[in-house]
Structure 1
Amino acid sequence: MIVPAFFRLIRWPNLVFIALTQVLFEFCIYRKVYPSGGMMEGETKQFIFLVIASVVIAAAGYIINDYFDLNIDQVNKPDKVIVNVHINRRWVIFWHMFLSLLGLFFTVSALPIAQHWHLVLANFGSIILLWFYSTNLKKQLLIGNVLISLLTAWVIFIIFFSKYPLQINTILAVDHNEVRFFRFAVLYASFAFIISLIREVIKDMEDMDGDRRYGCKTMPIVWGLNASKVFVAVWIVVLVATIVVVQFYVLPFGWWHSALYCMLFVVAPLVWIFRKLFRAQSPEDFHQLSSVVKLVMLTGILSMVFFMFYL
């Protein structure tokens, strides 16, 4: 029972999703923009270590979140509580500390501090922020939602910055391939940020009962359910409009298959979410919406596969 419980504690499907995102960004975009001739020595090892670092830091974040959310989870999802039911609280803290240090170790091993000190500092900062998110920030209006969305976007940006540390101004002025790679990074990181923000607010709607009981000031509690729905709806409209504009931009290049995929498996589900959002009332309704948003996150990231054929 302990091993399955541990994997549920660290949200293993989410960790697979993080690794998949970075693998697709590396192999379907970066290595298509730069064929084998542009690869640097040790780049594959660096990438593998960065993926491991991202996964274990995220796992540590999930663990500490459940540790501090024990009382709330006993109200919102009593059948899914792991802490103190399957795994002792002391062991939960141990695994959080161990995985956090392991993530920092792999970050330093992947990125020499002399050249990438800011990335090592950023991952260390992610560990600290995940702790404060779990203890306080997630209970505050919008701050926790934005933080998690930024860390989701960081999953992509850390791969980009590992190639070009602190050289954005130079990138925008020089090589055409570097400009393209930067645009792809911004495109997918922006998608990750917005779709994560949408899901975080919907999850807050789902968890209102437990959050209210323990003094949380999440958006649905402070602004009300209707205002929170409008907030989510606006971001859905922004995301759908952006994706549609991008599809019209790529159609002249003959990217028909990718455009059709995005309309069917990214835009259409988002429109469905938009339509269902204002009718949703119960935690079960919001859980269904959250699950579909997560599916859209997956289909959106999987669209990187098309760059294997078009770049």
Structure 2
Amino acid sequence: MKPIPAFFKLVRWPNLVFIVLTQVLFQFCIYAPVYRNNIPVKDTFQFVLLVIASVFIAAGGNIINDYFDMNIDRINKPGKMIIGKYINRRWALVWHMGLSLLGILLTAIAVNPFSRWYLVVANVICVVLLWFYSVRFKKDTLIGNVVVSLLTAWTIMIIFLSKFSFSDAFHNTRPEQLKLFRFAVLYSGFAFIISLIREAIKDIEDIAGDQKYGCKTMPIVWGINATKVYVAVWLMLLICLLIVVQVYILQLGWWIDVVYCLVFIILPALYLFRKLIAAGTPKEYHFLSTLTKAIMLTGILSMALFYFHL
């Protein structure tokens, strides 16, 4: 494999495209219709920089994750190793540090570091969390899964918080801000829960390599059956919440949105629940992990439907 394709595989470019897609949809299908004529002149410039910053930080996190996972990946994913095979370990560290620092710098340029300093600090925390996740958290019970899920939800929340004014919220909250807040909570909450589900399924899939190197993931500490129950509970909670949201949307007469959610999100989630119970091989768990990612994609794509209603 040549260096450039190897690098794109290392940073997991499909995941980076997913981040860009999520933020673009939130920007143009949720934020833009909600605010309409009240969008600041420099908003697009700020948004582009924040998207690039998110991609750089995520790419740096993927690199450092593979860097510390070399021994485990020799067992779980021997055919997918990049570091040490196509890219030198030292260069991997250089790329991690460079992309992470660029991500933080672009965040500071995008937002006013004096009025929205918390966004810069938050992205610094993201870089630190990604490092400690790779070194320690992913080997511990539940902590690593929560960290990944929070970082997934953050890709939406950072765009929302770059628009949200806390000074206005404390005095007189505008209807636009309240509406945008609801959508941010809805989609970041969805991203958080579906990520918790996928990470637990991936832990079951990777149990062989994790056991050999002393990891204490849920399937190892709790057992596979208990982890399945954990996934099933979160899955049922997600389905119930989605049904509640659809009941609310029905009152607005948005039938297409309800049909989309039922066919492309709720029914696949129910199918995932059914297949989870019978799953027993790494191949089956890999299919469940892929299906979960597909549900996440269809959930995020549903933002496009709101463009025609807001």
- TM band (smaller chain): over 0.9
Are the counterparts in 2 of residues 115 and 165 from structure 1 also a CA contact under 8 Å?
no
Tell me how far apart the structure 2 counterparts of residues 262 and 128 of structure 1 sit (CA, whole Å): 36
State the match for 1:206 in structure 2.
205
Where do 1:159-178 residues align within 5 Å? Answer: 159-166=159-166, 169-170=169-170, 174-178=173-177
Are the counterparts in 1 of residues 190 and 238 from structure 2 also a CA contact under 8 Å?
yes
Tell me how far apart the structure 1 counterparts of residues 26 and 188 of structure 2 sit (CA, whole Å): 10
Matched, 1:148 2:185: no
CA RMSD, 1 decimal: 1.1
Are the counterparts in 2 of residues 116 and 165 from structure 1 also a CA contact under 8 Å?
no
State the match for 1:275 in structure 2.
274
Post-superposition CA distance 1:201-239 (Å, at most 9, x none): 000000000000000000000000000000000000000
The one-letter amino acid paired with 2:112 is P
State the match for 1:123 in structure 2.
123
State the match for 1:290 in structure 2.
289
Unaligned runs of 5+ in 1: none
State the match for 1:18 in structure 2.
19
| TM-score using structure 2 length | 0.98
Tell me how far apart the structure 2 counterparts of residues 167 and 257 of structure 1 sit (CA, whole Å): 37
Post-superposition CA distance 1:155-204 (Å, at most 9, x none): 00001111125458538x52222111100000000000000010000000
Unaligned runs of 5+ in 2: none
Are the counterparts in 1 of residues 164 and 177 from structure 2 also a CA contact under 8 Å?
no
The one-letter amino acid paired with 1:205 is I
Post-superposition CA distance 1:36-84 (Å, at most 9, x none): x201121110000000000110000000000000000000010001110
State the match for 2:106 in structure 1.
106
Tell me how far apart the structure 1 counterparts of residues 58 and 85 of structure 2 sit (CA, whole Å): 22
Tell me how far apart the structure 2 counterparts of residues 178 and 117 of structure 1 sit (CA, whole Å): 20
Deviation at 1:101, TM superposition (A): 0.9
State the match for 2:48 in structure 1.
48
Are the counterparts in 1 of residues 168 and 174 from structure 2 also a CA contact under 8 Å?
no
Tell me how far apart the structure 1 counterparts of residues 220 and 209 of structure 2 sit (CA, whole Å): 11
State the match for 1:240 in structure 2.
239
Post-superposition CA distance 1:69-102 (Å, at most 9, x none): 0000000010001110111101111110110011
Are the counterparts in 1 of residues 198 and 289 from structure 2 also a CA contact under 8 Å?
yes
Identity score, percent: 57
| TM-score using structure 1 length | 0.97
The one-letter amino acid paired with 2:208 is D
3-state secondary structure, aligned to 2:173: coil
Deviation at 1:273, TM superposition (A): 0.5
Tell me how far apart the structure 1 counterparts of residues 161 and 146 of structure 2 sit (CA, whole Å): 21
Q: Rate the CA distance shift 1:263–1:71 in 2: closer, same or farther, 3 A.
A: same
Tell me how far apart the structure 2 counterparts of residues 273 and 259 of structure 1 sit (CA, whole Å): 20
Post-superposition CA distance 1:99-145 (Å, at most 9, x none): 00110111011011101111100001100110000000110000010
State the match for 1:185 in structure 2.
184
Q: Rate the CA distance shift 1:169–1:177 in 2: closer, same or farther, 3 A.
A: closer
